[in-house]
Amino acid sequence: MGVPAFYRWLAEKYPMVVVDVVEEEPVEIEGVKVPVDTSKPNPNGLEFDNLYLDMNGIIHPCFHPDDRPAPTTFDEVFQCMFDYIDRLFVMVRPRKLLYMAIDGVAPRAKMNQQRSRRFRAAKDAADAAAEEERLRQEFEKEGRKLPPKQESQVFDSNVITPGTEFMDVLSVALQYYIHLRLNYDPGWKQIKVMLSDANVPGEGEHKIMSYIRLQRNLPGYNPNTRHCLYGLDADLIMLALATHEVHFSILREIVFTPGQQDKCFLCGRMGHLAADCQGTAKRKAGEFDEKGEDVSIAKKPYQFLNIWTLREYLEYEFRVPNPPIEIDFERIVDDFIFICFFVGNDFLPHMPTLEIREGAINLLMAVYKKEFRAMGGYLTDSSKLNMGRVEHFIQSVGSFEDKIFQKRARLHQRQAERIKREKAQAKRGDDIDPLVRDNHIVPVARYRGSRLASGALPSPYQQSGSSYRSESMISTRKDNQVGQATTAMSVLDIKANQSGTHDSRESNFRAKKVARLSSEGATIGAAIVEAENSLEVEVRENKDNLKAKLKELLREKSDLFNSENPEEDKVKLGEPGWKDRYYEEKFGARTPEEIETIRRDVVLKYTEGLCWVMHYYYEGVCSWQWFYPYHYAPFASDLKDLAQFKIDFVLGSPFKPFDQLMGVFPAASSHALPIHYRRLMSDPNSPIIDFYPTDFEVDMNGKRFSWQGVAKLPFIDEARLLLEIGKVEHTLTDEEARRNSVMFDMLFINGSHPLSPYIYSLVSNYGQLPEKERVEVKEKLDPAASGGMNGYISLCNGDPCPPVFRSPVKGLEDIMDNRVICSIYKLPDPHKHITRPPPGVIFPKKTVSSSDLKPPPVLWHEDNGRRLPENERQNPPGNLSGRQLGEAAHRLVINSLQVGFDRNDSVPRNAPPLLPYNMAVANGIAHPNGQLYPVDHRSQQWPEHPHAHSQFYRPRDQSYNGPNQWNSSSVPVHHHYERSAPSTYERDHHHHHHSHNGRGSYPNSRSRVSVQSYHHQDGSGCSYPPANQPVAPPPVARGPYGQTAPSYNGGYGGYHQSFGPQQWGQPYNNNSNNGRGPQFSQSHQQSTNRYNALDRGSNRRPPPQSGHGRYQGR
């Protein structure tokens, strides 16, 4: 699902779901930074019980951090991660559980997407390296000095995949970090910490959800447990809704616009504007400042997305007119999750009919409400689909396809023509006066973020006799008049630029600087030092120029509109015959019979995919081997006769880590695999060399940018792959075999925690047993001692509480008096997920009312952009009286839309004039374009009007004739226009402060819940029998919304075996040839990890060293 598009849609439609995080900063005393005491109350007014971290949303940003130099070693990545987690912990302050989940081996359905991403990443990296080398040669010919390229351990982000050495070392580093905090941080001492690393199969967010689902409705579970989940994926919202836990928040950082982190115009450093510059010189890092990325960058703020508020909105949104049955809101929530799968998910290709940016979710919701009565009820029942109703629903959506495709084609044509005109105008730029070309324009553009704070830039035509670009800070430090100094230093010396080459200009500039220093009484030595510093500045600026130019070149290269020979659109969606052409071009069908055969199979596989995804969200994996075997999806109108399909899944078992690496890695990333595995990817005589093409087709499929295209990679033949891997698996070293094994979740507690006696009891009773017997021993947790957490604990290998824990991270000290205890954690026995809030839940006081909902928008395909005449404009009474976008939602939308704002205010650059706050706006009625625009109320005033300080714009196509001009009769309802592209200010959104943020009345309660491990819940895969029989109306339920919860049946049996919590063994009644059964390592030897992690494959007690052992399967 498109993250920016979905969040933008959500913030626009339901603005009160987003709330800014109140963050407490560390205090600095005499140069020493004092950490925040997280044992104190949370300044956000909420006390969370459990914090869950989707760790891949932390690992990836730490490879390319915004607040520090780019790391070059694993140790630097780990340090960045520790700081990242610390900051999240300070914001949330969990009182029961911290759960860290790293992506393990994914189901085969996800591996197709992973394979595409990693091949694309490798191809993009190769293209970027080639382009950078070419630019370096250009710079060298021009005499422009550059720092040498740095060697880096983190040059390939593909290593963030289970089975690599990086992921193995990361696990040990996180164990060290956990021990460090549990030993010394008072806010951590009474919590449980769970680590599910890359050797535990399953995606991180789904391992978290399995834990939450299996804790619910068990003895000791607090139904008012407050959950907070950190992550950047849009599907986290759907997963949180699917738990039916009311007290749930998603924590995410706000995404800045590209210009918001510009450097200071004076000193070239990041983190402040020129008006705040202290004039301190930047300290060089490296001989040529090649490591000179500044660390003083402003932190990104964070936001909570509150699920309970979203549920309130949805309850109002889905008030179905004249329903055939009594509405069960929890079933409506499940249906909402399901219909959102059609606009994007990680397991099925994008359906060409629906685009979020074209209002697809609005269309799906409108069709659902309109057709609910005709469908006869809900689309889903927990994880199961009602195929007849799904067909009715999607066929209704498909009836709009012609209009959608026709409008999309018109807009695409207009956009292409506009860009063509702009490029033609750009080519005619050679007749612009030489005074405003190239070097005069580019430097100013680079510093646009500082320009606003520094004052207007003088016109080059008004300057004479000024230096080309003064770099000296001497005059600034003398008179301290920063604003004036900035203006003086921004002056362009036209004469200097008109005479000579770039080199002569730079030489002239340095000579002037030395002469100026000497004339001011400086020594020759000081002048020489200053000249040398100017050379360093030049090298740094050349590096910045190289990076900016490389980024621009790569973007232009990826833009289809820049291509001299753009890819021809042979399908031409919207023109007669588009459906047949689609199957001919995308699937290779040639005859009407082939088209129908392929269409039918595509529909079957896509329907299987919908069933698979729904089960994955509600019960866990129902098949590790299933995947969608096509690069393209069917049309909505193709999904017919679904009730005739009989859909069954065989559970199977997950790949081993190295098997997955072989399935998703390109040959360029083979360095992360053992030597014999690499040969299978690169040897021309390899039997599976066809799985690893070095070049491959990217079908633009009607998109503009290459990264949006479809990578047409060959699908992996699992049987062939595993056959060849089996021939080399015996060559693995003991360390490699350990990395290739399946392990379990680890639970860490401080020695003072009430659970510690239970772990010590296990050690004393079973610590001397042989390894094969120890692995079977598990002790059921007492919820009273564990803080309401259910499940089982087992012994880890080695000492559960080593007295010394060695640091695996360079620069961090060993823990010499360790008091942290480790054990293995296994999930509770499987039971059915009950899709409604548990009994005893206390619902928060409602903050959303019907007036907070915006009126139904005009559907995208029906909006022609025309405005109604004055006498025909309609305003449904009361529908527009609700709140406008809250501050947090407003900023989220602005940043998602990439609108440039002054970071110190709410003023968009080039903002239109101010509109007084009139009665229409005061009553919540939109302007003629349907939007309200924020503006700096300090910049312009309307003293004649009582609301002169309002933060709203006047739309640019309207004139203002006094405070009485605007009224409800002059405002249209909708604001969707069919234009080539919106202007900057037209993309801005409402900005209205409201006093109630929904937090003050949220009840204070804490629950006792904890921990996680991977688990599949459904006991027998899943089956979808034919649905052509009449479907009885669902029973009327009553519960928190007036319904009765169904009785709990306690769960169901099936395939579960005793080898561990993953439970991916085959069902007892399934054919053993379907899927791979679990296996365990036959030999466990002492680890050779270079970081001295405790061996997880031996029951011998090793000397004190880092990491804990876990039993493994092969």
pLDDT of residue 1019: 45
Find the range with the poorest average confidence among 236-250, 578-592, 879-893.
Answer: 879-893
- In the chain, ranges of CATH 3.40.50.12390 domains: 19-257+297-398+574-847+1008-1114
**Is the model's pLDDT at 917 over the cut of 70?**
no
> How large is the average pLDDT for residues 834-860?
92
**Is the model's pLDDT at 968 over the cut of 60?**
no
Q: How many residues does the chain have?
A: 1114
Number of neighbouring beta carbons within 10 Å of residue 504: 11
pLDDT of residue 11: 85
Who's near 1011: CB < 8 A, 6+ residues apart?
Answer: 97, 99, 192, 194, 211, 745, 747, 786, 789, 791, 825
Distance of alpha carbon 293 from alpha carbon 59, whole angstroms: 20
| Selection from 634, 636, 682, 641 nearest residue 662 by Cα | 682
Q: Look at residue 252 and give its three-state secondary structure.
A: strand
Pair type for strands 380-381 and 227-230: unpaired
Residue with tokens 């925040």: 36
Residue with tokens 């093409």: 693
pLDDT of residue 801: 95
Q: Look at residue 50 and give its three-state secondary structure.
A: strand
The two structure tokens encoding residue 658:
């190295």
Number of neighbouring beta carbons within 10 Å of residue 425: 9
pLDDT of residue 251: 97
CB distance 969 to 892 below 8 Å: no
Secondary structure of 920-961 as H, E, C letters: HHHCCCCCCCCCCCCCCCCCCCCCCCCCCCCCCECCCCCCCC
Find the range with the poorest average confidence among 602-606, 919-923, 1027-1031.
Answer: 919-923
Q: What angle do CA 157, 805, 32 make, to 5 degrees?
A: 80
pLDDT of residue 265: 46
DSSP state, 64? S
Q: Which residue has the higher pLDDT, 440 or 169?
A: 169
What sign for the dihedral angle of Cα 188, 194, 197, 199?
positive
CB distance 235 to 204 below 8 Å: no
- What count of Cα atoms within 13 Å lies in the side-chain half-sphere of residue 136? 10
pTM: 0.72
The two structure tokens encoding residue 147:
């720092």
Q: In what order do the strands lie in the sheet with 50-54?
A: 18-20, 302-306, 248-253, 227-230, 50-54, 97-101, 192-196, 745-750, 820-826, 792-794, 779-780
The two structure tokens encoding residue 896:
């998602």
Distance of alpha carbon 705 from alpha carbon 864, whole angstroms: 26
The two structure tokens encoding residue 656:
């081993």
Distance of alpha carbon 280 from alpha carbon 844, whole angstroms: 51
The two structure tokens encoding residue 788:
């309401």
Residue with tokens 């459990």: 50
pLDDT of residue 909: 45
**Is the model's pLDDT at 297 over the cut of 90?**
no
For 933-953, write each residue's pLDDT tens digit.
344 443 344 444 434 343 333
Distance of alpha carbon 1110 from alpha carbon 1098, whole angstroms: 9
CB distance 971 to 926 below 8 Å: yes
| Selection from 939, 948, 935, 857 nearest residue 899 by Cα | 935
For 236-253, write each residue's pLDDT tens digit.
999 999 999 999 999 998
Residue 458 pLDDT grade (very low, low, confident, very high; cuts 50, 70, 90)? very low
The letter for the amino acid at 260 is Q
SS3 content of the chain, % helix, strand, coil (to 5): 40, 10, 50
Cβ-based burial of 629 (10 A; exposed 0-12, middle 13-18, buried ≥19): exposed
> How large is the average pLDDT for residues 171-198?
97
Who's near 1035: CB < 8 A, 6+ residues apart?
Answer: none
Write the DSSP assignment of 153-194 as a string of letters.
TTS-GGG-STTSHHHHHHHHHHHHHHHHHHHH-TTTTTSEEE
19-257+297-398+574-847+1008-1114 to CATH, choices 3.40.50.300, 3.40.50.2300, 3.40.50.12390, 3.40.640.10: 3.40.50.12390
pLDDT of residue 94: 98
pLDDT of residue 1033: 47
Who's near 901: CB < 8 A, 6+ residues apart?
Answer: 257, 260, 894, 907, 908, 909
Pair type for strands 384-385 and 380-381: antiparallel
Distance of alpha carbon 253 from alpha carbon 405, whole angstroms: 35
Task: Provide Rg for the chain, Cα atoms.
Answer: 31
pLDDT of residue 280: 52
Secondary structure of 747-767 as H, E, C letters: EEEECCCCCHHHHHHHHHHHC
Find the range with the poorest average confidence among 777-786, 798-807, 1049-1058.
Answer: 1049-1058
**Is the model's pLDDT at 510 over the cut of 70?**
no
pLDDT of residue 496: 38
**Is the model's pLDDT at 195 over the cut of 50?**
yes
Give the torsion through C-alpha atoms of 719, 720, 722, 723, to 10 deg: 110
Q: Which residue has the higher pLDDT, 662 or 1110?
A: 662
pLDDT of residue 1059: 34
The two structure tokens encoding residue 383:
């994880």
Q: How far apart, in Å, do the first and last CA atoms of the chain sit?
A: 34
Cβ-based burial of 46 (10 A; exposed 0-12, middle 13-18, buried ≥19): buried
pLDDT of residue 646: 92
Find the range with the poorest average confidence among 252-261, 402-411, 892-901, 1034-1043.
Answer: 1034-1043
Distance of alpha carbon 205 from alpha carbon 100, whole angstroms: 10
> How large is the average pLDDT for residues 589-610?
96
Residue 264 pLDDT grade (very low, low, confident, very high; cuts 50, 70, 90)? low
The two structure tokens encoding residue 16:
């009160």
Residue 534 pLDDT grade (very low, low, confident, very high; cuts 50, 70, 90)? confident
Backbone φ/ψ region at 654: left (φ over 0), alpha (ψ -120 to 50), beta: beta
- What count of Cα atoms within 13 Å lies in the side-chain half-sphere of residue 143? 8
